[in-house]
């Protein structure tokens, strides 16, 4: 008989998972830049999506997770795949290839705003002054950290920036609309189908450009980068993100995205040889970001505690 998990620990688990997600996602642009030195953007999407689809499906079969019981849910999962995998992956990777990590970081901060907006429009969440203030405080921290004056929004990078903006809209909508199915079937079942549907676009498009790439000439470093991208910021991050999404509000999931710049800025010097180091600006930004996240998530944590007190099985198994 499994040992019961304390209520307070259960309420904190989704938030700890979301912190882990941002640690994983925060490394993605950095490692992605390494792979994009020799791989076409569509080819990298091919490896990421198909690799994750295979991994999720094998794990789902091995663990005998629930199957999809409603035919209409397949259509929903296809839509989630379009928003969260196909559009998101192709636009982000192409945008990252054309633009910079700094620009991608700045533009990625709009995801929580789009998530909250879509959730409010769909009636899934109500407008909250606390959440609005928290979002603004966290956004201020990110903007202060990356310093918009360093970002290049002109010349050849304009198209990349536009693609990154479109990516944030798609991913914000994905977070906002996908919660119900994740709750119904569990994170692993739902996310495996999301990536399986994603292969419909990733395989033909990515395969076409990979056929023109001399894969046998790729170095071990590139292959390790590809393997890392599949396993960590894809399989690990998408699963934990879906698991948390079944337990907390979409806007709460989205606001944790503000932690990614801190991670990226901390790791970029180590991986890419950047000269940037933590300084007074970084610490001030960190304080603002964590304050913003706390403001947005405080009410959600309190509400979860109240709901579980009334319904002990509300947090799942």
- Decide if 244 contacts 253 (C-beta within 8 A): yes
Contacts of 305 (CB under 8 A, 6+ apart): 7, 8, 11
Cβ distance 202 to 86 under 8 Å? yes
Average model confidence (pLDDT) across the chain:
82
Joined tokens for residue 310: 């009334």
**Predicted pLDDT at 295:** 78
pLDDT at 311: 34
> pLDDT under 70 in the chain at which residues?
1-10, 145-146, 148, 150-156, 268-269, 271-279, 282, 297-317
Cα separations in angstroms, 242 against 14, 177, 237, 252, 260: 10, 12, 9, 12, 17
Query: Hey, what are 139's tokens?
Result: 């956004």
- Angstrom distance (rounded) from CA 71 to CA 30: 39
- Euclidean distance between CA atoms 53 and 42, whole angstroms: 16
Look at residue 309 in the predicted model and tell me its pLDDT: 40
pLDDT tens track for 127-146: 778 878 887 887 787 777 66
Neighbours of 150 (CB within 10 A): 11
> CA–CA separation, 124 vs 103, rounded Å?
31
In sequence order, the 6+-apart residues with CB closer than 8 A to the CB of 201 are 86, 90
What does the pLDDT read at residue 26?
86
- pLDDT for the residue numbered 312: 33
User: Which candidate, 25, 13, 143, 132, places its Cα nearest to that of 84?
Assistant: 25
Collapse the DSSP code of 234 into the 3-class scheme (helix H, G, I; strand E, B; otherwise coil) and give the result: helix
CA-CA distance, 87 to 202, in Å (whole number)?
10
Question: Which stretches within the chain are classed as H helix?
Answer: 7-35, 41-63, 71-81, 88-98, 101-108, 111-121, 129-146, 158-177, 179-185, 187-210, 220-230, 237-245, 250-255, 260-272, 280-310
Report the pLDDT value the prediction gives residue 279, as an integer from 0 to 100.
Answer: 64
Tell me if 107 sits within 8 A of 170, measured CB to CB: no
Q: What gap in Å lies between CA 163 and CA 79, rounded to an integer?
A: 20
């Amino acid at each position: 008989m499994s040992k019961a998990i304390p209520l307070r620990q259960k309420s904190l688990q989704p938030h700890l998972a979301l912190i882990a997600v941002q640690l994983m996602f925060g490394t993605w642009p950095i490692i992605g830049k390494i792979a994009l030195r020799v791989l076409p953007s569509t080819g990298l999407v091919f490896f990421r999506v198909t690799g994750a689809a295979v991994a999720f499906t094998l794990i789902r079969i091995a663990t005998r997770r629930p199957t999809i019981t409603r035919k209409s849910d397949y259509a929903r999962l296809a839509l989630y795949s379009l928003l969260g995998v196909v559009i998101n992956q192709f636009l982000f990777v192409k945008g990252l290839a054309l633009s910079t990590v700094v620009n991608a970081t700045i533009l990625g901060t709009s995801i929580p705003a789009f998530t909250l907006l879509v959730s409010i429009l769909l009636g899934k969440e109500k407008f909250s002054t606390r959440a609005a203030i928290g979002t603004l405080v966290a956004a201020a921290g990110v903007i202060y950290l990356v310093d918009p004056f360093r970002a290049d929004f002109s010349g050849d990078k304009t198209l990349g920036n536009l693609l990154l903006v479109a990516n944030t809209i798609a991913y914000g909508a994905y977070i906002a609309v996908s919660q119900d199915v994740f709750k119904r079937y569990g994170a692993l079942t739902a996310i495996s189908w999301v990536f399986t549907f994603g292969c419909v676009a990733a395989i033909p498009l990515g395969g076409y450009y990979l056929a023109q790439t001399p894969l046998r000439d790729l170095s071990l470093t590139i292959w390790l980068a590809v393997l890392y991208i599949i396993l960590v910021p894809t399989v690990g991050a998408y699963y934990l993100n879906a698991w948390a999404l079944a337990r907390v509000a979409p806007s709460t999931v989205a606001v944790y995205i503000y932690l990614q710049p801190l991670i990226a800025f901390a790791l970029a010097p180590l991986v890419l040889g950047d000269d940037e180091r933590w300084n007074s600006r970084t610490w001030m930004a960190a304080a603002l970001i964590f304050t913003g996240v706390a403001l947005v998530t405080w009410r959600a944590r309190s509400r979860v505690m109240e709901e579980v007190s009334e319904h002990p099985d509300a947090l799942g198994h």
